[in-house]
Structure formats: C-alpha cells, structure tokens
Amino acid sequence: MEKPSKFHRHTYVGKGTEGADEYGYKYTWNSAHPDLEPTQMFYPDKYQNHPYCFYCGEKPYPIQAGLRDSNIPYNKRDYSVTGYMCTCVGAAAEISYRQDLIKLKELHAQDISELRKSYVEKLNPNLEKQFEIKMKYQRKELESELKNGRNYFSFSDIEMIKI
C-alpha cells in the first residue's frame, strides 16, 4: 500500500513477512527526514483533524520536523506532528514550483542589486546644494518671523530641559 519514496526507510524483514515486498523489504515513512516539506492539504470538515492530499485525495504522511533531535520529552515529540505531506505527482510539483520560485526570486534579487550598483553613481544627490537651499529657506523664514515681531524666548522651552 505504501509507495516507497526517498523519504521512506527500508529494512529487511525477510520474504513472506507481513508488509514486506517481494524481496523481503519493509518500507516505513521517515517522518523526521530533513527534506520533508508540508504540501497543500484538503480538510473535509471544519475541525481540520482529518487532512487529505489536495491533489490526489489520499491520506498524507506526517512530518515531525526537528522533533527527533530536540529536547522535548520523547512521549511528546514522538506523537507531535508539525505538518503533512504527500508524495504524489501533484504534491511533488508543488514542492518543485516553490523551489523554482525561490530560485527565480534569488536570481531577480541579484539583478536588482546589480542594477542598483550600476546607478548608484548617477543617482548621487548634491547634498551640498541641498544644504545651501535649505539654509536659504530657513533664513527667509526666520527673517519673516522676526519682522512679524515673534519673541523666541519661552520659559516652557528651558523648563523642559532636564538638568
């Protein structure tokens, strides 16, 4: 019933043993395999306790990512599930799509970084000039405020200063 995948462990149990294949190997799902990735699930009820593969409709395999090597007590970690995955064609395509998308994004990020590098000299602001203009405007503002008789001294301002 179980289709062996690269995430299955196989052990020799002897021909004719229950669950063994024609060569005497039994395949068991390695839920702690480091390459396991959750795939899209379909939940038939609102309680979401019964996941089925979104693509093939079969029951998925549990993932126990990182649990085996953790310090969580064995009785908790062995029965804890961090996600589900299927090994069917659709689920494999989903994983491949995600990986391709990541690669494309990385590639794109490199292009953007190179584009930025090639423009950084040309997109150089004249900070000296900006400062000059800013000072000119501030001077104008001050002059007009002084002309309008504003008194700059304020007790509340100096009382705010903590000594």
The least distance separating Zn ion from the CB of residue 86, rounded to whole angstroms, comes to: 3
Choose one: 16-24, 51-59, 93-101, 137-145; the region binding Zn ion (CB under 5 A): 51-59
Strand partners, 56: none
Residue 53 or 67: the one with the smaller Cβ distance to Zn ion is 53
Buried b (16+ CB within 10 A) or exposed e, 137-152: eeeeeeeeeeeeeeee
- What's the Cα-to-Cα distance from 44 to each of 39, 47, 54, 57, 123, rounded to whole Å? 16, 9, 11, 10, 56
Cα distance between residue 33 and residue 60, in whole Å:
15
Decide: is 61 part of the binding site for Zn ion (CB under 5 A).
no
| 8 Å CB contact between 53 and 94 | no
- List the one residue from 7, 25, 41, 53 that touches Zn ion (CB under 5 A): 53
Residue ranges in 12-31 that form contacts with Zn ion under rule CB under 5 A: none
> What is the token pair recorded at 125?
């602001």
What lies within 8 Å, CB to CB, of 106 at 6+ separation is none
Cα distance between residue 4 and residue 87, in whole Å:
9
The least distance separating Zn ion from the CB of residue 39, rounded to whole angstroms, comes to: 7
Residue 13 or 92: the one with the smaller Cβ distance to Zn ion is 92
- List the one residue from 27, 29, 55, 84 that touches Zn ion (CB under 5 A): 55
How many residues of this chain interact with Zn ion, rule: CB under 5 A?
Answer: 6
- List the one residue from 56, 65, 92, 95 that touches Zn ion (CB under 5 A): 56
Residue ranges in 69-128 that form contacts with Zn ion under rule CB under 5 A: 86, 88, 91
Residue 32 or 95: the one with the smaller Cβ distance to Zn ion is 95
The least distance separating Zn ion from the CB of residue 90, rounded to whole angstroms, comes to: 6
Q: Which residues bind Zn ion (CB under 5 A)?
A: 53, 55-56, 86, 88, 91
